[in-house]
Structures are given as C-alpha cells and as structure tokens.
Amino acid sequence: MNQNTFGCRLVRAAHKKGANIILILELFEGYYFCQAQNEDFFHRAKPCKEHPTILRMQKLAKELGVVIPVSFFEDANNAHYNSVVVIDADGTDLGLYRKSHIPDGPGYQEKFYFNPGDTGFKTFQTTFAKIGVGICWDQWFPEAARAMVLLGAEIVFYPTAIGYEPQDDGLDTRNHWKRVMQGHAGANLVPLVASNRISKEIIDTEHGKSEITFYGNSFIAGPTGELIANADDKNEAILVAEFDLDKIKSKRHSWGIFHNRRPDL
C-alpha cells in the first residue's frame, strides 16, 4: 500500500458513493509493521505538525467536503503514539486522539513502538456529526465507547488492523470482534463504524520474516447493534450507510440508559 494512492483512492471512492464521514483503516500509510519488533520501523514516525499525510488529507477533505479521521504513527519528541487526527469538511484539523489501549502479543507487538495514549477519550464536532474515534484494540473495552458517548458522540469510529492469530491457526476472532462492537452500539444507542485490513502481510525483521493475515469484515452497525453493512474477508469494499441522528438522539434519551445510570455503585 502507498499513502499517495491507497488512502486518497478510498476517500474518493467513498465520496462518490455519497459518504460524508470517511473512515480509512488503522496505520493505512503502509503495512502493519507492529506485527514484529524492528527498531528501523521507528523511522516511519513523524510529528503531527506538518505531517505530509495529514496535510494531504486536509487538502482532500476540503476539496471533497468530507470528514476524514486520519490514522498515523506519531513522533512526539522521545515518545511515540498510535494516533488519529480528525479533519473536518473544510480541511480544519479538529484535534488529536492517541490510542489508549496498547496490545502486546504475537502479531501485535505495539508496546514496542507506542506509548499509552495520554489524551483521554475525545469527541470531535464535525460538520456532519459529533463523533468519537477509538483505535483498534480500544474497541474491545466497553468503557471507551461509553466514555465517548458520554462526551456527546453521535457516531463512534474504529480504524482497525486485526487478523488471525499467528500463534494459533484455529483461533478465529472475527465474529467475537464484531459482536463486541455491536454491543457497544446497542448499549449506547449510537451507530458504529469499523474499518479493517484484508489479505496477508509479510515483513522482514531482524529474526526473519513475520506474517499475519487480516480478516477484513469491516462493518457499520446501527444504534441497536444491528448490522447495516458488512464486508467480507478477502475483497476491498466501500460501505455506506445513512442515519437520522436527531431521531436516534430522541430514541437514546427516551430509552433511559443514560439518566438511569448508577456510576456511584
């Protein structure tokens, strides 16, 4: 994958289908280097300010009038983060979120590369909706989605890189993965969007080659957790859905799940 062609091509394709907020996958600038440890990969990190990919996406967002959460490997002095900048439809940088939950296991050795995020969960008031954005492993934690909705998120987004577990060929987590996030949507009465990689990726490391097969299955869930659109595990896809956010907001308020909360317990 190349950031100049892949990310921009997907954004343009989604825009042609009528999308207003367009979610590309996690770390879309290239392959998922975190599957193994290699200090050379730190050269891929760049500061947020004047980041070439962010600048390119700002220009594209303004041209098309779309909102784009942009995932990137952030260099912040002597710290490094797995981060997202949200670009509004006029090209404005609305702010930064840094991934809170950092996995560390076979195929996902992110603690070698990333500091735990220090921004806290955040929402971003875009032209089309107030949105929350988590990153990949954040999606397994119900408190992340709940925190974003408590902060006013009307839609929750998760750019993702997840696949079959390299240490266990028989472990297929894709249905579990979807059900967990469908639960976030249903429990908070908000639509939810997840964008994931497909196909096998092989990288060279200091100890030979490492590979992982990503299982795709990008999807959009509605506010009761229902699947609105779903991709398969092999083919590139553009998924689009439309929601009446005012109607969903009324339903969320009438359902009582927020004014009946008991965090004091």
Active-site residues, by number, are: 26, 99, 136
Asked whether 61 and 34 are in contact (CB, 8 A), the reply is: no
Q: Which of 71, 61, 79, 77 is nearest to 15 (CA)?
A: 61
Mode of pairing for the β-strands spanning 192-195 and 219-221: antiparallel
**130-133/155-159 β-pairing:** parallel
Write down the H helix ranges in the chain.
Answer: 6-16, 52-64, 142-150, 174-188, 245-255
Largest pairwise CA distance in the chain: 57
- Burial of residue 186 (CB within 10 Å: 0-12, 13-18, 19+) is middle
